[in-house]
Amino acid sequence: MQVVTRFAPSPTGFLHIGGARTALFCWLYARAKGGKFLLRIEDTDRERSTQAAVDAIFDGLSWLGLDADEPPLLQSERAERHREVALELVRRGAAYRCPVSQDELEARRAAAAALRREREIAAPMSAEQAASLEAARDHLMKPFRSAWRDPARPLPEGAPYVVRLRMPDEGEIVVEDRVQGRVRIACSDLDDLILLRSDGTPTYMLAVVVDDHDMGVTHVIRGDDHLTNTFRQLPIYLGMGWTPPVHAHVPMIHGPDGKKLSKRHGALGVEAYRELGYLPEALKNYLLRLGWSHGDDEIIDTDQAIAWFDLDGLGKAPARLDIAKLNAVNSHYMARADNDRLADLFFALPFEPEVEARLSPAARDRIRAAMGMLKTRAATIVQLKDASAFLSDLRPIRLTGKSADLLNDEARERLRQVVRRLEALPDWSEGAIRDEISGLCSELGVPMGKIGPLLRAVLTGGAAAPDIMLVLTLLGRNECLARLKDQAEGAR
Ligand code: GLU
């Protein structure tokens, strides 16, 4: 049997990282088993679904490389098929027409609750009255079983009706969940849920089952907020004589404080992580580990994940988002990523105007050429801003504080000597520069420790930078000499 998984987001907002993780698990399972991964947009909530959200979801998935094997299915386009199944369920006796709509049921329940409140504060009533009121209330508060379950009971002439599922009277619905284990609920605790509303539109519960069946879905992997829906969905499969899929309900992602992830924890959408400068392969690795494990392995690239992924590795306890760990994983992937790709991602960032102004074509070239070193000094693409600041157009550098104090007349004279020697240097390589500067140090009888800090101050203006010889090499001859001359000649 070919494995078919699906990701079925409701397009009401961005691609949540919880959703992205679900999609990743579904995608990996399909890839691991040589199966198919499908997409379904659950856009039946007309008021809350938007095209912008659909686009954001596709965008997030494609950024993460979670490609579907077939064009996405739009749930809203399948209402006719959903209706057909509802009527087939009626024909089979697994569902029935009922004139009590959801609104009416809710109104009745609200009235029952109000009656009870009234009774509590109102004048005394007879024990009999009280008992009958209580019985009526209890009846209405219980899972709804309509009087029209009885096929012999005729519908009121011309009255609108809904189609309800006939929940079994007795027994249990049992979900053999691959993550949660065996979970059961008594049928008497479940409503006769509505499948078709009185305007003929299908409900979400019906649409999910029909679509999963028609798409040939064999494994439903989704958040455990849907576990309770499964109890309502299984009887629909049974009513149609369809084989239900395997279920795996994955615990939600929690924030660092152990509470369910919410806005107050910060970034929720995948696009926010992209903007924060994380690489898709790193976020993917991180999300995989957030809920799935393979021994103690932390770094698991996509190929390895495909080879290893199975439902048995899914954890039952909710995982907590840990940004320090995400940064560590991202650093790992940054260090291995192609330098030009990182440079392109870096230059595509939105820069503050003053930063942008310092990124001349020459500065961009310097940064691109230095990427092999820069990427080891930044955990994210955004952190490359600080790491590369010394390579941007800083001139004229205004020295402040301790750096300014270093620059006395003697220091200026030393800088002029450095300039003279470096100007004459035929080969601008790290080794040649190092030899030249240590030659100068021995000539002057000063230790390197005297010149290094001065050069660092003058060349970087105090920006974070690597070893001074590397700074000289990466800045290149022209920019180095220009920065040195600025200060040697007294531009302050
Ligand atoms: N549309 C549902 C959601 O976005 C998912 C339904 C399902 O996976 O069965 O939460």
Delimit the domains of the chain by residue range.
Answer: 1-68+251-335, 337-393, 394-492
- What single letter denotes the amino acid at residue 468? I
- pLDDT tens digits, one per residue of 336-367: 999 999 999 999 999 999 999 999 999 999 99
Is 394 in contact with 479 (CB distance < 8 Å)?
A: no
Q: Is the CB of 228 under 6 A from ligand 1?
A: no
Report the residue among 177, 220, 222 best suited for mutation to probe ligand 1: largest number of ligand atoms under 8 A from its CB. Answer: 222
Domain 1-68+251-335 is in which class?
A: alpha beta
Residue 374 has pLDDT above 50, yes or no: yes
Distance in angstroms (rounded) separating the CA atoms of residues 126 and 179: 53
Q: Is the CB of 367 under 6 A from ligand 1?
A: no
Q: Look at residue 122 in the predicted model and tell me its pLDDT.
A: 63
Q: Is the CB of 11 under 6 A from ligand 1?
A: no
DSSP notation for 436-450: HHHHHHHHHT--HHH
Q: Look at residue 155 in the predicted model and tell me its pLDDT.
A: 92
Helix, strand, coil abundance in the chain, percent, nearest 5: 55, 10, 35
* Three-class SS state of 106: helix
Q: Is the CB of 18 under 6 A from ligand 1?
A: no
Report the residue among 48, 208, 228 best suited for mutation to probe ligand 1: largest number of ligand atoms under 8 A from its CB. Answer: 208
Residue 21 CB contacts under 8 Å (≥ 6 apart), including other chains: 250, 253, 287, 288, 290, 291
Other C-beta atoms within 10 Å of 476: how many? 17
- H helices present in 215-296, as ranges: 227-240, 270-275, 280-289
Q: What's the chain's average pLDDT?
A: 93
Phi-psi region of 164 (alpha: psi -120 to 50; beta: other; left: phi over 0): beta
Other C-beta atoms within 10 Å of 157: how many? 5
Q: Look at residue 119 in the predicted model and tell me its pLDDT.
A: 65
Residue 492 has pLDDT above 60, yes or no: no
Residue 434 has pLDDT above 60, yes or no: yes
Using alpha carbons only, give the angle 102, 106, 108 rounded to the nearest 5 degrees: 115
394-492 folds as Arc Repressor Mutant, subunit A (1.10.10)
Report the residue among 10, 179, 249 best suited for mutation to probe ligand 1: largest number of ligand atoms under 8 A from its CB. Answer: 10
Q: What is the mean pLDDT of residues 190-217?
A: 97
What the block records as the tokens of 226 is 């849907």
Distance in angstroms (rounded) separating the CA atoms of residues 137 and 129: 12
Q: Is the CB of 219 under 6 A from ligand 1?
A: no
Q: What is the DSSP letter of 5?
A: E
Query: Which among 467, 489, 477, 486 has a CA at the least distance from the CA of 394?
Result: 486
- pLDDT tens digits, one per residue of 375-398: 999 999 999 999 999 999 999 888
Q: Look at residue 297 in the predicted model and tell me its pLDDT.
A: 96
Residue 230 has pLDDT above 90, yes or no: yes
- pLDDT tens digits, one per residue of 276-295: 999 999 999 999 999 999 99
Strands (E), 47-180: 73-74, 95-98, 162-165, 172-177
- pLDDT tens digits, one per residue of 30-82: 999 999 999 999 998 888 999 999 999 999 999 999 999 999 999 999 999 99
Minimum mean pLDDT among 325-339, 368-382, 444-458: which range? 444-458
